[in-house]
Every structure is written in C-alpha cells, then in structure tokens.
Amino acid sequence: TVIILLIATIAAVYWLINDPSLAVFAFTSVLIIACPCALALTVPFTFGSTMRSFGRKGFYIKNTQVIEYLQKIDTIVFDKTGTLTHSRSMDTRFVGDTLSKEEQIMIKSLAANSSHPLSATIKEGIPYNGQYDVVNFKEIPAMGISGVINGNRINLGSKKFVTGKEDDAIESTNVYVFIENEVKGYYSIENRYRDGLKQVIENLKESYQLYLLSGDNEAEKKNLVPIFGSDTQLYFNQSPTDKKDFIKKLKEEGKKVLMVGDGLNDAGALMQSDVGITIADDIYSFSPACDGIIESSKFQILDRFIKYTNISLNIVKISFIISFIYNIVGIYFAVQGTLSPLIAAILMPLSSISVVAFATFMVNYTSR
C-alpha cells in the first residue's frame, strides 16, 4: 500500500511540473489499476476450491485455514485401533465360559454405549438382536466401560480394569468381561489393517517423521515394525493423557504435528496437535476435537490429500505472480498518463476475474 501511494504521488508531482492536465489521470489511474482485489481474492478462492474438491473426494475439513496448516506439518502421529485398523471388521472370538444369549445381549447393550472401536467390534460380532437399558454407564479412557443391566454389574475392558492384573498377552488384543461377581473370559480380537496402509506409510515417510501411539499392548508390534521401519517410532500402552503429552513434547521441540485418530477417544491429542484428522466409518460422527474428517474408505489416499496442500499453495503463489505482473504492466502505462481512470476501472475487475478463474480452474484440474 505504501509503495503504491508513493508511486501515485511521484507520478502526480512529475506531471504537475511537466503537464498538469495529466496529473490527476496519472494519480487516480495508478490507485485504481493497482487495487489489491486480485491479491485479496486469490487465497480464499484457491483454498475454498481445494476445500470443495476435498469434500467431493471424502475429506471434510473445518475451514480453509486447515489447508495452510497441513502444508506446514513435518510430523505425523497415528493412533492404531480404529485408525490404522478396521473398527468394524476385526476377527473376534470369545475365550472362557460359555455365554448365554441373555449375557451376550447385555454385553452388546453395554458396548453400544461406547464409541471405542473395540466396543463397536464386539457389538457387531454378537449375532443376537435386542437391547437392554444401561444404568450408571461409565467409560474410563484407555481402561474400559461399565454399567448395570437388569440388576447385573458388567465391566468390559482391559485385564487390569476387569481383574486388577496386568495383561501379558502378546498375540492379540483382549477385552475382558465381568458379569456380576465373575470374570467370564475375554474377547480375543485380531486386527485387520486398512487397505493400502503400507503404501500410505511408505509415501508419507519420504517427507514426514512418523510415529504410532496406541492404547493397546504390544501384540501388533511385530506387524507394525515392517511398515513403520523402526520400533523406536512405536509406542504402546499409551493413555489419552500420554498421547496428549507426547504431542505437546513434539511441539515444544519445534515440530508441526498432524494427529490422525479415531475421534473422541483421541480428543486430547487431536486438540493438542496443529492439525487433527479423524478417520471415520460414519462421517456424521460428532468429533468436535478434530479439524477434519476423512471417510475410512479414502484412507488409502490420505498421503495425496496431505501432499496436495503443497500444490494448492503453489497455485496461490502463481496467482500472486500473475496479479503482480498485471499490476506492474498497468502501473507502467498509468504513470505515463496514457491510461484514463475509466479504462483502469474496467481493467481492474478484469484482473480479479482472471486471477480467480485461473485459481479455480487449476485447483479443479490438478485435484483430479
């Protein structure tokens, strides 16, 4: 603004000395032709088009600022259960006492009150219909859930939560069941990883530092080390507070952090990160802590969404250059007094239209 005002003033003074009839033309034409509308519209139109393009492809972000923040990240932290694994298609079997039909319906009723992926897996794995009312339902993060159904106290969760003992399982994720005064056994859950996981991680490793934070035990470590490449990047038995503190530590080291989780279970970590993204089987799930929601079926192109923000920012830069060139050419003629304010007033919105059209077209074209 200061530079434009100086150019307009210098042009006016020059023509006042040499040809006063052109002084007003030069002064007003410079101010009109250099109006920063094109510059001001470039970012919102480019990022707005990017936001719409993401939405059409299954990635829904809160606002256009998320695009700019995504472009700056250098570190990505993943949750495991429900994020890297399918939350509703894991292999489940019950180990322990035989459960009656009523007991299974009670377990299903309790699990239905939790948004945790393991609860969803158990609920989907019980074949019986029907549901009982749950009284005094409680959910303790990283531990389990409990409630009273038909007068029976039911606890569902980790071995420590249900029995008070540490879980030494190394082959699978176990969810223990306590009904009234007895531990009935546990659900042994074998994770199924999302399609394209290995390729997504390989692509992201080229540009970002990757970490895994999981609330489960180390049963899946042997499967994840070949994917992530180093067990130093894998952290298990992490509570929601541990995850939040880990991200806080990364940010204190100057890292720009993206957290990819499964929603409310990772709320603290998602909010602590610079950008929080939720992988959702149901995109209408309420996730106030995150900046974006991506359909689980689109997980295999997560790396493309993240990296496209660089292309989006480059389009902004090119649009800026076009706008500056337009202004320089316009000012060149305006200071000579050969460009009338009326013509300048016509050309100015044309520059805005051309830059906006270019930005919108380039986003639609490159996002394919």
pLDDT digits (tens, 9 = 90+) for 63-92: 999 999 999 999 999 998 878 887 666 678
pLDDT band at 168 (very low <50, low <70, confident <90, very high): low
CB-based burial, 324-360: b 16+ in 10 Å, e otherwise: eebbeebbebbbebebebebbeebbeebbeebbebbb
Q: Name the more confident of 169 and 105.
A: 105
Q: Quick one: pLDDT at residue 88?
A: 62
Three-state SS for the chain is CHHHHHHHHHHHHHHHHHCHHHHHHHHHHHHHHCCCHHHHHHHHHHHHHHHHHHHHCCEEECCCHHHHHHHHCCEEEEECCCCCECCCCCEEEEEECCCCHHHHHHHHHHHCCCCCHHHHHHHHHCCCCCCCCCEEEEEECCCEEEEEECCEEEEEECHHHHHCCCCCCCCCEEEEEEECCEEEEEEEEECCECCCHHHHHHHHHCCCEEEEECCCCHHHHHHHHHHHCCHHHEECCCCHHHHHHHHHHHHHCCCCEEEEECCHHHHHHHHHCCEEEEEECCCCCCCCCCCEEEEHHHHHHHHHHHHHHHHHHHHHHHHHHHHHHHHHHHHHHHCCCCCCHHHHHHHHHHHHHHHHHHHHHHHHHHCC
Q: Is the pLDDT at 283 greater than 70, yes or no? A: no
Q: Quick one: pLDDT at residue 163?
A: 86
Distance (Å, whole) CA 134 – CA 153: 10
Q: Quick one: pLDDT at residue 167?
A: 67
Q: Quick one: pLDDT at residue 249?
A: 95
The residue to which tokens 């309790």 are assigned: 110
Q: Quick one: pLDDT at residue 285?
A: 62
The Cβ of residue 18 has, within 10 Å, a number of other Cβ atoms equal to 10
Distance (Å, whole) CA 73 – CA 78: 14
Distance (Å, whole) CA 322 – CA 351: 9
Q: Is the pLDDT at 286 greater than 60, yes or no? A: no
Contact 92, 117 (CB under 8 A): no
Q: Output phi, psi for 359, to 5 deg.
A: -60, -45
Amino acid identity for residue 280 in this structure: A
What whole-number percentage of the chain has pLDDT above 70?
Answer: 94
Total-model pTM: 0.77
Among 29-33, 120-124, 234-238, 288-292, the least confident range: 288-292
The Cβ of residue 284 has, within 10 Å, a number of other Cβ atoms equal to 7
Short-list 233, 243, 228, CA closest to 289: 243
Distance (Å, whole) CA 62 – CA 76: 19
